[in-house]
């Protein structure tokens, strides 16, 4: 069995979902997402955690142009496959309390987007990588445009222009690398083997970096994110924050630094500075947010800034921290946005100042909220802790002052998140919050699974770290060896 089944099943499922009607649509979408998760679990069970690529497919696609349908899974890709296949069924479950116009199109777009995401995370051909990158963008554009908030059109256009423009820069970088290969192919391994000058690598670096920095996003390429996260429907926000932004992080690890190691060294310090600025900036802005969903959006920018800094420090600890933190951040941010989805559906507002005392009328909800929040602020024995610890260690090895600033803003994050919890959940109820009902049914199931993942990964993270350890170590060492090449 090859990875192709993971890539094509969601496309087939998306088409089949269009045949269903009424309530059966969401059940069908969930069923197909769970089948996809089952296949990923099968791959994981037989996965050998070394540096090799497994379940590979390498079939001619447009061979006259050097384009092959080449994809596979190594330890780095496996983490991303798990992230995607675990979160998509959870995200579909979060929609069970919603009613959507043209629901079959809504769920079909989610499944089609899953196919694009998995293509990005497993592609070993530059052209296929670009196709997956754009294939993931199209469905989320329509999800936000058709089911988003009042200002969705203006904000969605901004989001599309930002991300599409970044994609064009990346396409230019891919085509340039293709033209430099002796056999004119888009094969990733052939890209890695190129010997480019410092000037060439600098241009390649920026072509890829702009695309990835927008997607993550890194300061100052972040301006589309808070508005888009706020106006998108809850499921769209979860797909964007939980999975889609990881495309940029993954792209840096797989496609940017290994293809332009000299360019990376030249601009490494600048990107580290931008990442740390993003952490500080987003944390300070989050302090002043009254909209709970928008607060979580800025919190996400701060967390991604730390992940970026850990990667660009380029140590095994930093990249390993990024791998487990991508998984943990995806789980936690989906949980936080679902928390605010529940609150906004019951109260018809996300204004923190109008709330209070919800813990008294919804004890199960308050416990789940607290566990997800503690994972988000990286309390020891939660899933966020080990990733942030490794990331800070990587940044510390690069520059102690960068690590100090990043560490302080993590403390700021804990302060504004705990203050949010206090204002929403503690104190006395008012006329608005007194009617708040506790979680039930699919809400309890989703939050229960997320809380178990937060605690389980936090208490015993070694199995997750073991999956990517060999692949990360091999990649970091291979690229680091190029740093000493006399040509650079």
pLDDT-derived band at 485 (thresholds 50, 70, 90) equals low
Mean pLDDT, range 436-465, rounded to an integer: 94
Q: How far is CA 133 from the centre of its chain?
A: 13
CB neighbourhood size of 184 (10 A): 12
Mean pLDDT, range 216-221, rounded to an integer: 85
3-state secondary structure of 106: helix
Burial of 110 (0-12, 13-18, 19+ CB in 10 A): buried
Upstream peptide bond of 62 is cis (omega within 30 degrees of 0): no
| Residue 29, pLDDT score | 94
Token pair 């994972």 is found at: 375
Instruction: Tell me which H or E stretch contains 328.
Output: helix 316-347
pLDDT-derived band at 104 (thresholds 50, 70, 90) equals very high
Q: Which two structure tokens, joined as six digits, stand for 481?
A: 């060896």
Tell me the pLDDT tens digit for each residue of 119-133. Answer: 999 999 999 999 999
Measured CA distances, 433 to 348, 353, 425, 474 (Å) = 11, 12, 9, 53
In this model, does residue 486 exceed pLDDT 80? no
Residues whose CB falls within 8 Å of the CB of residue 208, separated by 6 or more in sequence, listed in order: 169, 170, 173, 251, 252, 255, 256, 259, 260
Tell me which residue of 427, 426, 475 sits closest to 264, measured CA to CA. Answer: 475
- Ramachandran region, residue 314 (left: φ > 0; alpha: ψ -120 to 50; beta: rest): left
Longest dimension (CA), the chain: 71
Tell me the pLDDT tens digit for each residue of 317-352. Answer: 999 999 999 999 999 999 999 999 999 999 989 999
Pairing of strands 54-62, 67-73: antiparallel
CB neighbourhood size of 386 (10 A): 25
Instruction: Tell me which H or E stretch contains 62.
Output: strand 54-62
In this model, does residue 82 exceed pLDDT 70? yes
Token pair 């230019």 is found at: 172
Mean pLDDT, range 230-259, rounded to an integer: 92
Is 271 in contact with 312 (CB distance < 8 Å)?
yes
Tell me the pLDDT tens digit for each residue of 182-200. Answer: 989 999 999 998 888 899 9
Give percent above pLDDT 90 in the chain: 68
The whole-angstrom separation of Cα 445 and Cα 442 is 5
Token pair 């964007």 is found at: 240
Mean pLDDT, range 204-213, rounded to an integer: 94
Token pair 């142009």 is found at: 65
The whole-angstrom separation of Cα 98 and Cα 106 is 12
| Residue 484, pLDDT score | 67
For 469-472, the CB contacts below 8 A with 24+ separation are 469/49, 469/75, 469/320, 470/49, 470/50, 470/51, 470/75, 471/50, 471/51, 471/74, 471/75, 471/76, 472/75, 472/76, 472/316, 472/319, 472/320, 472/323
Tell me which residue of 183, 119, 111, 109 sits closest to 141, measured CA to CA. Answer: 109
């Amino acid at each position: 069995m090859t990875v192709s089944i993971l890539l094509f099943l969601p496309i087939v499922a998306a088409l089949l979902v269009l045949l269903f009607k009424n309530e059966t649509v969401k059940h069908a979408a969930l069923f197909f997402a769970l089948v996809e998760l089952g296949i990923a679990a099968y791959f994981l069970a037989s996965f050998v955690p070394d540096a090799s690529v497994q379940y590979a497919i390498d079939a001619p696609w447009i061979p006259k142009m050097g384009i092959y349908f080449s994809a596979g899974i190594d330890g780095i890709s496996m983490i991303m496959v798990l992230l995607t296949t675990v979160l998509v069924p959870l995200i579909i479950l979060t929609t069970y309390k919603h009613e959507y116009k043209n629901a079959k199109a809504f769920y079909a777009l989610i499944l089609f987007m899953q196919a694009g995401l998995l293509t990005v995370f497993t592609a070993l051909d530059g052209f296929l990588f670009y196709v997956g990158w754009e294939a993931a963008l199209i469905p989320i554009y329509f999800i936000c445009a058709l089911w988003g908030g009042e200002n969705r059109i203006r904000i969605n256009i901004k989001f599309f222009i930002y991300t599409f423009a970044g994609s064009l820069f990346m396409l230019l970088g891919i085509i340039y690398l293709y033209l430099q290969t002796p056999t004119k192919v888009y094969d990733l391994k052939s890209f890695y083997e190129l010997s480019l000058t410092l000037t060439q690598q600098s241009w390649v670096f920026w072509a890829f970096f702009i695309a990835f920095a927008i997607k993550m996003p890194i300061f100052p390429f972040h301006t589309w994110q808070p508005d888009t996260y706020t106006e998108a429907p809850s499921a769209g926000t979860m797909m964007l924050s939980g999975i889609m932004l990881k495309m940029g992080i993954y792209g840096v690890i797989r496609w940017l630094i290994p293809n332009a190691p000299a360019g990376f060294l030249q601009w490494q310090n600048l990107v580290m500075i931008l990442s740390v600025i993003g952490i500080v900036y987003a944390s300070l802005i989050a302090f002043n947010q009254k909209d709970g969903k928008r607060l979580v959006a800025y919190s996400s920018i701060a967390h991604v800034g730390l992940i970026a800094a850990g990667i660009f420090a380029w140590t095994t600890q930093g990249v390993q921290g990024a791998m487990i933190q991508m998984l943990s951040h995806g789980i936690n941010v989906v949980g936080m946005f679902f928390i605010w989805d529940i609150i906004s559906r019951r109260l018809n507002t996300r204004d923190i100042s109008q709330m209070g005392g919800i813990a008294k009328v919804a004890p199960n909800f308050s416990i789940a909220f607290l566990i997800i929040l503690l994972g988000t602020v990286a309390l020891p024995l939660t899933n966020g802790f080990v990733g942030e610890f490794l990331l800070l260690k990587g940044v510390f090895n690069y520059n102690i002052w960068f690590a100090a600033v990043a560490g302080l803003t993590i403390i700021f994050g804990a302060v504004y998140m705990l203050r949010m919890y206090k204002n929403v959940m503690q104190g006395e109820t008012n006329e608005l919050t007194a009617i708040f009902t506790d979680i039930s049914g699919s809400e309890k199931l989703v939050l229960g699974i997320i809380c178990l993942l937060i605690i389980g990964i936090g208490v015993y993270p070694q199995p997750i770290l073991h999956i990517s350890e060999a692949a990360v170590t091999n990649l970091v060492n291979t690229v680091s060896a190029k740093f000493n090449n006399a040509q650079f």
